[in-house]
Amino acid sequence: MDSSVAGNVSQYISETPDANSLLKIDGADAPALNVTGNPLFMVTHYEYVNKNNNDDSE
């Protein structure tokens, strides 16, 4: 978590994801997720932290 600015704790955000993955989870309950067919879950991987809220590189 980025706590570089007092009172403004947030997650780091990178403007460029390193990779994306689609996952199929056996047993995922499509009706409970309000989807039809086989639900897929997208995971975005972030490798780099560019700058924090205080505009410092980390």
HEC letters along the chain: CECCCCCCCECCCCCCCCEEEEEECCCCCCCCCCCCCCCEEEEEECCCCCECCCCCEC
Mean pLDDT to the nearest integer, 30-52: 85
- Residue pair 2/56 in contact by the 8 Å Cβ criterion: no
What pLDDT is recorded for position 14?
Answer: 62
Mean pLDDT to the nearest integer, 16-40: 91
pTM: 0.48
**Res 12 pLDDT > 90:** no
Mean pLDDT to the nearest integer, 11-29: 83
Q: Return all residues near 57 (Cβ < 8 A) that are at least 6 apart.
A: 49, 50, 51
- Residue pair 39/25 in contact by the 8 Å Cβ criterion: yes
Tell me the domain boundaries of the chain.
14-51
